[in-house]
């Protein structure tokens, strides 16, 4: 299966790459199937307010890095592919106040899994609900600092496959898209895009170490 990529601002890209953040959220539902390989690319923009959150600073410190390392201009963790993941599931984020009166799930047009955001559900500030049939609850409130959990968004659960030892910021490429390592070929920087984007053959070879 050909991989796809998403671009995230720092520090969120590194939170995903280190496996600290287990979820990514988006405004629209991604048209991807579970099992899809998803790469995390760190854009050149930084979400500066997020870098001052104590929970994020602590989490990165515990992972052996820090906000300064991943946000300073010219560092390897900006404008680069950082990690490979596998998409486990995509679920809607709903307001916990929308729970049905009889307690059988949430009124959002589906009986399937969702993330309930808000403390009124009695389980935690953020919980994953399975379905009316199973009625299982999982408290995922530890993930609150690492994404935008506004109701109406979509949550992607990403399983970390590999954090790249060396982030890929670019690669040598010739005109037909085949990767080479020679002085006569052009250097192609990795440029992120909004939403889901598709790496070309040269980038795939560089990330997988096939060049």
What percent of the chain has a predicted confidence (pLDDT) above 70?
78
Name the pLDDT band for 102 (thresholds 50, 70, 90).
low
- pLDDT confidence of residue 193: 87
Q: Taking 50 as the threshold, does the pLDDT of residue 121 lie above it?
A: no
Burial of 142 (0-12, 13-18, 19+ CB in 10 A): middle
For the cut 50, the answer to whether the pLDDT of residue 181 exceeds it is no
- As beta bridge partners, residue 158 has 87
Which pLDDT value is given to residue 157?
A: 96
Contacts 24+ apart (CB under 8 A), 173-178: 173/202, 177/201, 177/202, 178/202, 178/205
More confident residue, 109 or 175: 109
Question: What pLDDT, in 10s, does the model give residues 45-56?
Answer: 899 999 999 999
> What does pLDDT average to over the chain?
83
Q: What is the average pLDDT across 98-107?
A: 55
Q: What tokens does 22 get?
A: 């287990």
- Predicted confidence (pLDDT) per residue in 48-97, tens digit: 999 999 999 999 999 999 899 999 888 889 999 999 999 999 999 987 66
pLDDT at 117: 81
Higher pLDDT, 157 or 211: 157
Q: Count other Cβ atoms within 10 Å, centred on residue 202.
A: 23
Percentage of the residues of the chain whose pLDDT score is greater than 90: 55
pLDDT of residue 49: 94
Looking at 4-103, which runs of residues are DSSP E strands?
4-10, 23-26, 37-46, 80-95
Residue 9 has pLDDT above 80, yes or no: yes
The partner residues of 85 in beta bridges, in order of sequence, read 38, 160
Q: What is the mean pLDDT of residues 107-130?
A: 66
pLDDT exceeds 80 at position 200: yes
Record the pTM.
0.85
| Structure confidence at residue 118 (pLDDT) | 72
């Amino acid at each position: 299966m050909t991989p796809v990529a998403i671009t995230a601002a720092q520090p969120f890209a590194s939170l995903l790459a280190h496996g600290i953040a287990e979820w990514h959220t988006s405004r629209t539902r991604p048209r991807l199937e579970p099992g899809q390989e998803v790469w995390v690319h760190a854009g050149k923009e930084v979400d500066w307010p997020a870098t001052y959150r104590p929970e994020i600073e602590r989490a990165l410190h515990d992972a052996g890095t820090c906000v300064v390392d991943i946000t300073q201009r010219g560092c390897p963790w900006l404008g680069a592919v950082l990690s490979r993941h596998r998409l486990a599931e995509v679920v809607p984020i709903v307001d916990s106040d929308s729970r049905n009166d009889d307690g059988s799930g949430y009124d959002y047009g589906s009986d399937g899994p969702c993330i309930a955001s808000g403390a009124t559900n009695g389980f935690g500030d953020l919980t994953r609900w399975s379905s009316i049939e199973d009625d299982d609850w999982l408290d995922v409130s530890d993930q609150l600092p690492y994404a935008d959990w506004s109701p109406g968004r979509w949550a992607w659960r990403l399983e970390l496959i590999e954090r790249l030892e060396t982030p890929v910021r670019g690669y040598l490429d010739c005109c037909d898209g085949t990767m080479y390592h020679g002085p006569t070929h052009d250097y192609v920087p990795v440029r992120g895009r909004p939403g889901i984007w598709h790496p070309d053959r040269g980038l795939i070879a560089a990330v997988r170490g096939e060049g």
